[in-house]
Amino acid sequence: AAFISIQAFPALLDLPQDLEVSAVSCGSRHTAVVTRGGELYTWGWGKYGQLGHGSNISCDQARRVEHLVAKRLRVEEVVCGPWTTYVRV
């Protein structure tokens, strides 16, 4: 089982390629960011597939949601719920 650390205080996040973040949303155990280029990165608890990586695997590192890139969709907004992630493209 993957260990997901719980961070009670703000912490710096290293995104790949020095991407600039335009929007952030936090669920109960996961986080999502939208970059200025319209890409979605998610990390945290993924038991219900809320990270969008095509699995139920949790992840401590921010990962780009490749499905949206493959479909050539530009993310405009993200909203995380308790076990869900809603994306407007």
Residue numbers of the domain that contains 69: 29-88
Per-residue confidence (pLDDT) for residue 88, from 0 to 100 = 97
Flag whether 5 is in a domain: no
Q: Is residue 19 part of a domain?
A: no
Contacts (Cβ under 8 Å, ≥6 apart) of 37: 19
- Within a domain: residue 37? yes
Give a yes or no: residue 2 inside a domain. Answer: no
Is 41 part of any domain?
yes
CA distance 6 to 52: 20
How confident is the prediction along the chain (89 residues), in pLDDT tens digits per residue? 556 566 666 667 777 777 899 999 999 889 999 999 999 999 999 999 999 999 999 988 899 999 999 999 999 999 999 899 999 99
User: How would you class 85 by CB atoms within 10 Å of its CB: exposed for 0-12, middle for 13-18, buried for 19 or more?
Assistant: buried
Residue 20 lies inside a defined structural domain of this protein: no
**Is 58:45 a contact under the CB 8 Å cutoff?**
yes
Question: E strand or H helix at 68, and its extent?
Answer: helix 66-70
pLDDT in the model for residue 18: 78
C-alpha span between 59 and 44 (Å, rounded): 5
Total domain count for the chain?
A: 1
39 within a domain of the structure (yes/no): yes
- Decide if 13 is inside a domain: no
| pLDDT value at residue 76 | 97
Strand, helix or coil at 46? coil
